[in-house]
Every structure is written in structure tokens, then in C-alpha cells.
Amino acid sequence: MSTREFFERTKKTVMRRPIIKKETDVLGQSGIIWASEATIFGPNYYHDVEQNLIEIYDAGAALVFRDLLPRKDKYAREGLYLQLSIAYRTTENANANIRTFSGNHVTLPNSVAGAMFVDPNTYYWVSDDLTLNINSIFSGEKLWLQRVEWEWVSKDVIYDDDPFSDPYVVRDREQIEEIYKTKEVTKDLVKNFLIERIKKDDQFAKRCLSLLNHDQLLQRDLIALYKDLGIQ
């Protein structure tokens, strides 16, 4: 017997009306964004105007830098990624835990004198919202955020135990311009595109495999296929 009920009158969901902003672009190879410039949501923060710091004394605040930082994939075709670092300081025992720009949850090392946290995982991924979330701080302790530093960095790797490696990549303008040129679409170009996409995207690879099974599925009984797919 079904226990489903009918509700004649239900509440509507109340939410903030979205603000449509024109997408901006941030030029340059590196730069600094002050924490006070971020759009801040949530409680438990204070803007120290004299020192230009965002003082955070409990969990809850979210600092959004989306309109202040460059588009994260702008130079992906050139093998560059957006490296992001946070300048901060804490009280002696803050143990502040944050969600970083790479979506990871990190407890910042306590630093009364101030420190830089370079997020190593922006090498792999940067969140779409470009937001720092304050997850937790020990009771009675504080975290101060001063600025976010950004820089376009090459994905070419050197290892920190090799002091003789050149830390810079010398790039050729003509080679970079070649990346952006419109190429003639050929069969080989399309095939290579699909191969590279399969290598990088597991979900796309699964879809390709499902296409290979397409003819076999079409031979099956319609009702049995519907049941096996679990469609409701």
C-alpha cells in the first residue's frame, strides 16, 4: 500500500536574486588581490581598515575572488596554470581549517609573524567559484587574511632536490601563436582529437565504449532493456 501523501499548500523557496555581472578579464603574468576586495558571505569576520586585513574569529565566512582573479583556464592550451598563494597570520593556537582554491581542506600552519600558503594542488585543478571557505578555528583564536597572490606558472616540472635546474622556461612566441591558429579540419585531426580526449576524460571514454555496445542493445527487447536500465 502506498504511503504517498498529497500536500495542497507548500512553501516556496526564498533565495537571493542572482546578480548578472559582465565577465571581466584580468591581464598580466602575476598580481595581488587584497582580501578586503573579495565579496564576503557569512558571519564571524571583521574588516580591519587600518591594517587592510580581514579578521576571522570563528567558522562561517566565505571570501569570493571570482571577479578579481584571471579565468583559470585562460592559458591551459599553452601548458600554464594559475598558481594561487594566500598571505595570512594567526594567533598562537588558531589551527584554522579552510577550503582552498583547489577545493581541498587544509589546516594552515599557525604563524604569529605571518606566512604564505602556496596551494600546490592548483597545479591539478582550480575551483570554478574561486572561493576560500573558513571551516573552523579554535575557540578564542583568530585568523587574518591579507592578500592572494596569483601567477601563471608552467606545468613543466623541476624537483626541489635539484638545485642546478633552471627554474624558468624560455618560450618561443611563434610556437605559442601556432597553438591558437585555426587548423584545417582533416580526418587525422579529428581522430587525434578523440584519442587525446579519451586519454584525459574517463567519462568520455565510457561513452565511447557504450557506443560500441549500441548495436547489441538495439537487438534486445524494449521492455527488458527499460527495466535493466533502471529508468523511472
Question: What pTM, to 2 d.p., does this model score?
Answer: 0.73
pLDDT in tens, 41-100: 999 999 999 999 999 999 989 999 988 999 999 999 999 999 999 999 999 999 999 999
Show the domain range for 196.
187-229
pLDDT in tens, 176-221: 998 888 878 888 888 998 999 999 889 998 888 888 877 777 777 8
Residue 22's pLDDT band, with cuts at 50, 70 and 90, is: confident
Same structural domain, 102 and 212 = no
Same structural domain, 54 and 145 = yes
pLDDT the model gives residue 227:
79
pLDDT the model gives residue 35:
96
Residue 216 lies inside a defined structural domain of this protein: yes
Res. 21: pLDDT tops 90 = no
Same structural domain, 115 and 196 = no
Residue 153's pLDDT band, with cuts at 50, 70 and 90, is: very high
Res. 232: pLDDT tops 80 = no
Residue 172 lies inside a defined structural domain of this protein: no
What cell does 193 get? 582529437
Domain boundary among 156, 177, 200: 156
How many domains would you assign to the chain?
Answer: 2
| Partners of 118 in beta bridges | 85
Same structural domain, 79 and 122 = yes
Residue 10 lies inside a defined structural domain of this protein: no
Residue 213 lies inside a defined structural domain of this protein: yes
pLDDT the model gives residue 223:
83
Residue 225's pLDDT band, with cuts at 50, 70 and 90, is: confident
Residue 46 lies inside a defined structural domain of this protein: yes
CATH number of the structural domain spanning residue 117:
2.60.120.260
Same structural domain, 62 and 142 = yes
Same structural domain, 88 and 127 = yes
What cell does 207 get? 561513452
Residue 178 lies inside a defined structural domain of this protein: no
Burial class (CB in 10 A: 0-12, 13-18, 19+), 71: middle
pLDDT higher for 165 or 146?
A: 146
Same structural domain, 204 and 144 = no
pLDDT the model gives residue 142:
96
Residue 181 lies inside a defined structural domain of this protein: no
Same structural domain, 34 and 149 = yes
Same structural domain, 219 and 105 = no
Residue 217 lies inside a defined structural domain of this protein: yes
**From the CB of residue 130, how many other CB atoms can be counted at a distance below 10 Å?**
23
Residue 18: which residues within 8 A CB-CB, separation 6 or more? none
Same structural domain, 97 and 198 = no
pLDDT in tens, 130-150: 999 999 999 999 999 999 999
Amino acid at 124: Y
Same structural domain, 82 and 193 = no
Same structural domain, 63 and 149 = yes
Residue 25's pLDDT band, with cuts at 50, 70 and 90, is: confident
